[in-house]
Amino acid sequence: MAGRDQPVRGTGKNTAMVAIMKCRANEDEYLEFLEKLHQSRRHDWEWSFTRGRDLWSKGRHLLLITSMDGDGRFEVTRVGKSVRRRGAKDQDQQLRVTHVRRLRRPLRLVELLDGLTAAQRRHLVEEGHQSKGTGEAIRARLLRMRPELTEAVQLIEGAIDSWDFGDSRAAQEVALQRDATLAVTRMAGMQAPQLAEWDPPAEELYDDTVPPLFLDMVGAARHPDELLDSPEQRPQDRAARSDRLSNQRALEDHLITQDTRAMHGWLSEETNHVAWRRFREHGRTLLVANANRTQAEQALGCDIIFYNVTRHSLVLVQYKKLDAERGGFYYPTSDRNLAKELRRMRSLDRYAERHAGLADEQRLDPSPSWIKLCHPRSVLPHTTEMIHGMYFSRRQFESLRDDARLKDGRGGAVRFGYKNVPAYLDNTLFTRLVETGQIGSTGTSTDLVRQQVIRSFRGQRNLVLATLSGE
């Protein structure tokens, strides 16, 4: 555990290299399918492919994705970020690709490589990662020939520059709060690319202090008045803007102001360590608050409280960590707070069930209480990728504790892990089900939301509170 003699500073290492990947016919078709699918859902997405390990032996890359044109010649059609994963077979390497951006004007590969010097060509690899000098030359030529790619390349390279914080408890709490913040934007069906653009804390982090807020690292407003009086809404501009705003939009802003100040009141009663952000998309507004009040060494994880105002629907997610970054397990008997937290969830689920009306919307699961098990993090990436995890409703979690398949720990101990859990929801499926109204309570009032905020703080848990308004 890091203490006063073991501070952690925010630092990053840029390990960007350049690699070339030549799509096979089925890969190009699958990429087209993924682009169309996820463009409609407005979510970031990832893709994996496999190649010979000898040409992909190094870590992360600015990836130039090439496809064959009608004349059988390769052209650069996309750029992305590639990261090595586990070996697929004896001599194969699996690679994960994110941040894929399509070129508006494809660039023939031979034209891109024509300008390399003889020395650079000697080190050129037809497919795979390039040497440092050759890669830098290819990148420079790409941006000269397609300058409109500059922003996309900078985003990809920024995503490669991560914050490596080791075993700092304070930083791990920031990582959980980041993940929960990304989760609520996905539950709202919104993109949030700005959440990939953050600065590591400049100050030293100590585990006997309250951790920094993730939204502060991306420059969120700290008070609802700052949030609502953004530059485009300054008092001197309101008269000029009023003619352009419809009555409906003005009413929406008024209601959002009330919601925001109500949220601020709930949180300010418990802590002054709060940061805010507002997202607007397709006529809907998502208000997100990060709040802490517990020292990192005493914090028991992070809670999501997500409230859909239009649907009167509440979702509570409690984070629990596996005991290792790879292949870890969660042991319920080792969690001294689990019994108390499950009592809270049972009480919430029973309350929601009692107050659900016959005329309320139907749900696949109307219980609001969920648990996410995920690996601890030691690195925070500049991406909008969430921490891989397993989601369970409270009922499913309690049922699995009695499942013989999970009693494979030492001495028959119950443990949850990817190796033995028979079924769970992943990030994509869980957030999509919340977004489409298939998960969450019905007929829930804001009074219940406020009660859950108080219970999260009293349970020594950090909080991400979000409300979604509009159709």
Distance CA 347, CA 44 (A): 35
- Which whole number is the average pLDDT over 70-98? 80
Whether the Cβ atoms of residue 287 and residue 466 lie closer than 8 Å to each other: yes
* Sheet containing strand 12-13, strands side by side: 12-13, 162-164, 379-380
- Whether 435 has a pLDDT exceeding 90, the answer reads yes
- Whether 446 has a pLDDT exceeding 50, the answer reads yes
The predicted pLDDT at position 164 comes to: 78
What are the residue ranges of helices labelled H in 337-393?
Answer: 338-354
**What average pLDDT is seen over the chain?**
82
Return the higher-pLDDT residue of 418 and 297. Answer: 418
Whether the Cβ atoms of residue 294 and residue 462 lie closer than 8 Å to each other: yes
Share of the chain above pLDDT 70, in %: 80
Using alpha carbons, list the distances in angstroms from residue 137 to 103, 124, 134, 342.
Answer: 19, 11, 5, 57
The predicted pLDDT at position 395 comes to: 95
Q: State both tokens at 104.
A: 């508006």
Using alpha carbons, list the distances in angstroms from residue 334 to 16, 221, 322, 339, 416.
Answer: 40, 38, 11, 11, 12
Question: Considering only 159-173, 174-188, 311-325, which range has the smallest mean pLDDT?
Answer: 159-173
Please count the other Cβ atoms lying within 10 Å of the Cβ belonging to residue 171.
26
Question: Considering only 4-8, 15-19, 53-57, 366-370, which range has the smallest mean pLDDT?
Answer: 4-8
Using alpha carbons, list the distances in angstroms from residue 465 to 49, 83, 180, 275, 287.
Answer: 37, 32, 9, 10, 8
- Whether 75 has a pLDDT exceeding 80, the answer reads yes
Return the higher-pLDDT residue of 34 and 185. Answer: 185
In which band, very low, low, confident or very high, does the pLDDT at 305 lie, cut at 50, 70 and 90? very high
- Which whole number is the average pLDDT over 189-203? 80
Q: State both tokens at 378.
A: 């030691």
The predicted pLDDT at position 1 comes to: 40
Share of the chain above pLDDT 90, in %: 41
Q: State both tokens at 103.
A: 């070129």
DSSP code for 321: E
Q: Which amino acid is at 120?
A: Q
Rounded to 5°, the CA angle 142-147-150 comes to 85
Distant-in-sequence, close-in-space partners of 191: CB < 8 Å, separation ≥ 6: 42, 43, 44, 185, 281
Distance CA 80, CA 87 (A): 21
- Whether 463 has a pLDDT exceeding 80, the answer reads yes
Strands (E), 381-449: 389-393
* Sheet containing strand 302-308, strands side by side: 274-281, 284-291, 462-469, 302-308, 313-321, 369-374, 389-393
pLDDT in tens, 220-258: 555 555 454 333 344 444 444 444 434 444 444 444 455
The predicted pLDDT at position 355 comes to: 79
Q: Considering all CA atoms of the chain, what is the largest pairwise distance in Å, rounded to the nearest integer?
A: 76
pLDDT in tens, 112-168: 999 899 999 999 999 998 988 999 999 999 999 999 999 888 878 766 567 778 888
- Whether 182 has a pLDDT exceeding 60, the answer reads yes
Distance CA 385, CA 432 (A): 15
- Whether 461 has a pLDDT exceeding 70, the answer reads yes
The predicted pLDDT at position 361 comes to: 67
Distant-in-sequence, close-in-space partners of 393: CB < 8 Å, separation ≥ 6: 365, 367, 369, 370
Question: Would you call 258 helix, strand, or coil by DSSP?
Answer: helix
Return the higher-pLDDT residue of 138 and 376. Answer: 138
The predicted pLDDT at position 161 comes to: 60
pLDDT in tens, 342-364: 999 999 999 888 877 655 666 77
Place of tokens 């892990």: 417
- Whether 320 has a pLDDT exceeding 50, the answer reads yes
- Which whole number is the average pLDDT over 360-382? 84
Burial of 372 (0-12, 13-18, 19+ CB in 10 A): buried
- Which whole number is the average pLDDT over 326-354? 92
- Whether 87 has a pLDDT exceeding 80, the answer reads no
Distance CA 246, CA 252 (A): 10
Question: Would you call 393 helix, strand, or coil by DSSP?
Answer: strand
Strand 369-374 to 313-321 pairing: parallel
In which band, very low, low, confident or very high, does the pLDDT at 88 lie, cut at 50, 70 and 90? low
The predicted pLDDT at position 146 comes to: 94
**Among 287, 297, 280, 272, which Cα is nearest to 213's?**
272
- Which whole number is the average pLDDT over 287-302? 89
- Whether 388 has a pLDDT exceeding 50, the answer reads yes
In which band, very low, low, confident or very high, does the pLDDT at 405 lie, cut at 50, 70 and 90? very high
Q: How big, in percent rounded to 5, are the helix, strand and coil portions of the chain? A: 40, 25, 35
The predicted pLDDT at position 252 comes to: 45
In which band, very low, low, confident or very high, does the pLDDT at 327 lie, cut at 50, 70 and 90? confident
Whether the Cβ atoms of residue 307 and residue 449 lie closer than 8 Å to each other: yes
Please count the other Cβ atoms lying within 10 Å of the Cβ belonging to residue 426.
13
Distance CA 380, CA 166 (A): 10
